[in-house]
Amino acid sequence: MKVTPLSLPGLLLLELDCYPDERGFFLETYQQSRYQEAGIGSTFVQDNHSFSRKNVLRGMHFQEGNHQAKLVSVIQGTIFDVAVDIRPSSKTFGKWVGQVLDDHNHHQLFIPEGCAHGFCVLSDSAHVIYKVSTPFVSEMERSFRFDDPTIAISWPISTFILSAKDRKAPLFANLFSKEVP
């Protein structure tokens, strides 16, 4: 497994070892000791599976007071996966990183606690699975607008299918008092 640190502290791109042959392929999607050696000390307590159609955008989501680290993988399709640093004391507060994840490159994105998460589907559909370090608590769920001009995420699509919740999400500045550098 190749581990590449990205520009947000703790955000890692993981390139898994894949063993293809005439039957298909084999890859190990998680082994706790190997991930700990890579610097991922999170204990994952819940697995989630999301199915979405082309142009669906989910995000930008986080849990207030119950921060989640996430390990994101795509088992079918292609997504553009985004993390935004929401740690006010971080030098990269308000900055974002996006990565293409798909069922061909088998890359994973480790998103540390203190980051909001979202993705859009680039293929006809996508199955996304992700491990989280704390259980989902609906009362703590928060979001901000995917198209917030202060954050300025460069989404690779221009037509979006959004949930009602994501359509009416507040601006980033309405959630965080510190100004984005």
Model confidence over 66-99: pLDDT tens digits? 899 999 999 999 999 999 999 999 999 999 999 9
Q: How confident is the model at residue 162 (pLDDT cuts 50, 70, 90)?
A: very high
Return d(Cα 51, Cα 72) in angstroms, integer: 13
Kindly state whether residue 69 falls inside one of the protein's structural domains.
yes
Within 8 A by CB and 6+ apart from 77, the residues are: 102, 103, 121, 122, 123, 124, 125, 126, 127, 128
In a domain, 76, yes or no: yes
Q: What confidence score (pLDDT) does residue 177 get?
A: 65
Q: Is residue 181 part of a domain?
A: no
Which amino acid would we find at residue 148?
Answer: D
Residue 44 lies in a domain: yes
Residue 102 is part of a domain; what is its CATH number?
Answer: 2.60.120.10
For residue 11, what are the domain limits? 2-175
3-state secondary structure of 88: coil
pLDDT at 38: 94
- Are 122 and 78 in contact by the 8 Å Cβ rule? The answer is yes
Domain membership flag for residue 171: yes
Number of domains comprising the chain:
1
The answer to whether residue 8 sits within a structural domain is: yes
Is residue 178 predicted with pLDDT exceeding 80? no
> Is there a domain that residue 113 lies in?
yes
Which positions are annotated as active-site residues? 61, 130
Q: At 49, is the secondary structure helix, strand, or coil? A: strand
pLDDT 10s digits, 4-53:
999 999 999 999 999 999 999 999 999 999 999 999 999 999 999 999 99
Mean pLDDT across the chain: 95
Domain membership of residue 180 (yes or no) is no
